[in-house]
Amino acid sequence: DSFRKWLKFYSDHFRDNLNDSEWIKFMKALENGEDVSMFLPKGRWNDDENVVLCAPTGRAAQRMKQQTGHNASTIHSLILQQKLDALKGKPNTFKNKLFIVDECSMLDINLAAKLLFLIAKNDNNIIFVGDADQLPSVGAGNFFNDLIISRVIPTTVLKTGYRNSGNIAANAAKINTGSGFSKMGLGSDFTFVECEHEDMQKAVLDDYEKLLKTYAPKDICLLSPMRTRSSSGADILNDMI
């Protein structure tokens, strides 16, 4: 069923761009799970006019702009701009565009629905990018993860991480596969301090003092799962340091 959905999707969108020989090669590559990007049409989406970069938050949109060199905006601003244009009697400008949405794990179902309604029925295309292993959105639903497990749309999973290495990256992969703590790799880049609940604040502050001998305060980051409901919550730790 999944392969037939893929086949219909590519047939509907790309058949006219390939001759018979290319189509046969394309089908074999698709069936074998190989890279098919070489067969896709080039040049249609290659500038700010035809490609729309957006994200749920301003920080994520700014990061997209920095990384790509192209304009990026929040989903909210796209929706607001379209509403303002509609009030002025301007036509919907989102036609025949490619939308790339980053940080989609932050998308709740309400914002996702507004975005899809905004671009529907105008020959637009959309790519959702995100990490399904992150915490779900603060708002209602778990849109991105549900979209992936539904297997309704073509999905590509990137399995090689380039941002981190060593025990941090290895342990993150183990957590995602359900491995217990006993299988975690420990070392200078990943340590574990066992203590009772009432001793956690002291343990954190002691480690912070040790790190200050090597690092500047701006290069040290303390993270807490709680803000106020613990002696080692973020607010209290900030007061202590």
Q: pLDDT means per 10 residues in the chain (241 residues)?
A: 57 63 72 62 60 88 84 89 82 79 89 87 83 79 86 79 75 80 80 84 88 88 81 83 81
CA atoms of 12 and 155, how far apart (whole Å): 17
Q: What pLDDT is attached to residue 22?
A: 73
For helices 2-14 and 20-31, the axis angle rounded to 10 degrees is 150
- Beta bridge partners of residue 74, listed in sequence order: 55
Q: What pLDDT is attached to residue 132?
A: 80
Of 49, 15, 8, 38, nearest in space to 154 by CA: 8
Q: What pLDDT is attached to residue 95?
A: 75
Q: What pLDDT is attached to residue 74?
A: 92
Query: Which two tokens mark 177?
Result: 């596969």
